[in-house]
Amino acid sequence: MAGWERKQTDVEKGIVIPDDWPGYPLDLFTFPEHYSEDLDCVYIPHGVIMDRIERLARNIMDDLGDHDIVVLCVLKGGYQFCADLVDCIKVLCCNSNKTLPMRVDFIRLKSYLNDQSTEDLHIEGAENLSALSGKNVLIVEAIVDTGKTMKALLDHVEAFKPKMIKVAGLLVKRVASKTGYLPDYVGFEISNRFVVGYALDYNEYFRDLNHICVISDSGKQKYKI
């Protein structure tokens, strides 16, 4: 796509979307009418998301094929990415000489208030992670910004002594306060803008958008708590 960069020498960053990327005008796409005044632009169209996820699935198959894995989906924002990633892996398993038996489990993290990440991290479902002991774990998260939340989750999961942990992140933000943490599989590296859609929310709204969009200031005020 015009204006986007795929760094062949630094592929772990995924597709790098520059800070000056304006996104696409809303009138080029379809989306729920009730959000017509609440969005600035379509940042990443749904079709591009799906193409990138297919590539991530191939990379995961290349690395982890013929191993049993537990896919740990981080809710709520990661449910759509996880479902589509698992579907892509299942298709590859049917058309490849490799196989990747998967179990899927879920954990919920909550650290945002409105559009700000807070230090108050809530982990729900943590009591069920004893089943990860000795297993190969693939954590699937929709977005990583500072990396603090993911590092806290990794510390928590490591306490259950899994055999291996890998992380797939659809979006990684470029933020000044970043810890330096980067997932093993990255879909897109994006600027520090608050994005919604594709199950990413703002106070539980916008999960029903297919595209990843930038929320407008009026949208933030409308759904602020």
Assign residue 174 the CATH number of its domain.
Answer: 3.40.50.2020
- Which positions are catalytic? 145
In terms of residue numbers, what domain contains 200? 5-222
Strand pairing of 5-6 and 15-16? antiparallel
> Measured between alpha carbons, how far is 223 from 225 in angstroms, rounded to an integer?
7
What share of the chain in percent tops pLDDT 90?
63
Say if pTM beats, i.e. exceeds, 0.85.
yes
> Measured between alpha carbons, how far is 208 from 177 in angstroms, rounded to an integer?
30
pLDDT at 179 exceeding the cut of 80: no
pLDDT at 172: 94
- Tally of structural domains, the chain: 1
pLDDT at 115: 57
Strand pairing of 102-113 and 69-75? parallel
> Measured between alpha carbons, how far is 91 from 81 in angstroms, rounded to an integer?
15
Q: Please answer whether residues 154 and 182 qualify as being in contact, where contact means their C-beta atoms are separated by less than 8 angstroms.
A: no
Distances (CA, A) of 198 to 11, 114, 131, 161, 208: 23, 18, 29, 32, 7
Q: Which among 39, 45, 55, 40 is positioned nearest to 6, based on CA atoms?
A: 55
Q: Please answer whether residues 39 and 216 qualify as being in contact, where contact means their C-beta atoms are separated by less than 8 angstroms.
A: yes
| CB atoms closer than 10 angstroms to residue 125 | 14
pLDDT digits (tens, 9 = 90+) for 77-117: 999 999 999 999 999 999 888 889 999 999 888 765 555 55
Could you identify the residue written with the tokens 């579907």?
Answer: 87
Q: What is the mean pLDDT of the chain?
A: 87
pLDDT at 8: 37
pLDDT at 187: 97
Q: How is 57-88 classified by DSSP, letter by letter? A: HHHHHHHHTTS-EEEEEEETTTHHHHHHHHHH
- Report the first-to-last Cα separation within the chain, whole angstroms: 36
> Measured between alpha carbons, how far is 137 from 168 in angstroms, rounded to an integer?
11
pLDDT at 11: 42
